[in-house]
Amino acid sequence: MMAAPSMGRGRVGIIGAGSWGTTLANLLAEKGRAVDLWVFEEDLFQAMGRKRENEVFLPGVPLSENIHLTHSLAEAFSGKSILVCAVPSHAVREVFSQGRPFLLEGLLIICATKGLEGETHLTVSRVIREVIGQNWKGEIACLSGPSFAREVSRKIPTAVAAAGSTLAAAQKTQELFSGPFFRVYTNPDLLGVELGGATKNVMAIAAGASDGLGFGHSSRAALVTRGLAEMTRLGVKMGADARTFSGLAGLGDLVLTCTGDLSRNRMVGLELGKGRRLAEILGEMKMVAEGVRTTRALRALARDLRVEMPITEKVYEILYESKDPREAVAELMSRDPRSEREGL
């Protein structure tokens, strides 16, 4: 690897030009940072270059003049003191394996992807750390919380959390992204912040299915609350701080994703609740609904750790075993009586 850089105000690499990666690139560019935005798809790269707009994932939002588009992973990785990972969770290992030779030794990598790796069940930061190697001298952070790309791009006031492998990494992330309409709080619990961001997408599918079945606000509130209990149980079992899950990256993101009309995962659940098939729903989507893949990994992780996650289990059965959502709800409601605090 190359020599350690000065953190300074050098170019920032944003890896992934979906709606969130494009939004974060604009956010930083409008703060005066020079940004290299890596676009995976050749046709999208060409179109964004011509129109200076991401018409596929973020239509109607012009790209800042401070954003340089690149289709070269080597160019996006090379010479950067800060890299932001915004590719789907299933692509993280491959992308960072390819980019590893171009990494500077002391850079800060910020994970803006929410999910778990399918085979290993690792969080995104742990996948990256495994790819780069434990002897790598750099820092890893994550940015997570209740934030829709479309709303952030419209400069709607938003608050999120930044956690890091060190407090300094979290503080650098906070300083990098904080602005007049985008407030960033630090959190010392990197694992908890990432688990919250992954788990809430699964709960959003459940909440969407409830809405699709025509159930009311009471049903959705119950799912959000018990989803939070599942999230907290798993996190504490893995060594995360329970307080994290009552914060922005836990409850905050959970409420947003389970109730917001811009939530892709809620939309998947909504359509499932109406009786549509998963393959048909996903075939019509341009963007990735992380919760679909994460459900499989989260269920396996919960079973490995012997953590009871009944909502996750039912979402898995709906997605991968074609269980009728109404039947899944009936089974959840008929479980043995227990204390609300059991397992917490």
Position 9 scores a pLDDT of 67
pLDDT at 2: 45
CB-hemisphere CA count at 13 Å for 140? 25
Q: In whole numbers, what is the pLDDT of the chain averaged over residues? A: 94
- CA-derived radius of gyration, the chain: 20
Evaluate if residue 343 carries a pLDDT over 80.
no
Q: Does the structure show a pLDDT above 80 at 8?
A: no
Which token pair is 178? 């904080």
Residue 5 has pLDDT above 80, yes or no: no
64-73, 84-93, 194-203, 328-337: least confidently modelled range: 328-337
Task: Determine the pLDDT at residue 20.
Answer: 97
∠ CA 288-100-87, rounded to 5°:
10
> Per the residue annotation, which of 80, 114, 172, 200 is the catalytic one?
200
3 band by pLDDT with thresholds 50, 70 and 90: very low
DSSP-assigned beta bridge partners for residue 141: 110, 164
For residue 15, pLDDT beyond 80: yes
Task: Examine the residue annotation and report whether 200 is marked as an active-site residue of this protein.
Answer: yes
Note the pTM of the prediction, 2 decimals: 0.94
Domains of the chain: 12-188 (3.40.50.720), 192-333 (1.10.1040.10)
Among the listed ranges 46-60, 208-222, 279-293, which one has the minimum average pLDDT value? 279-293
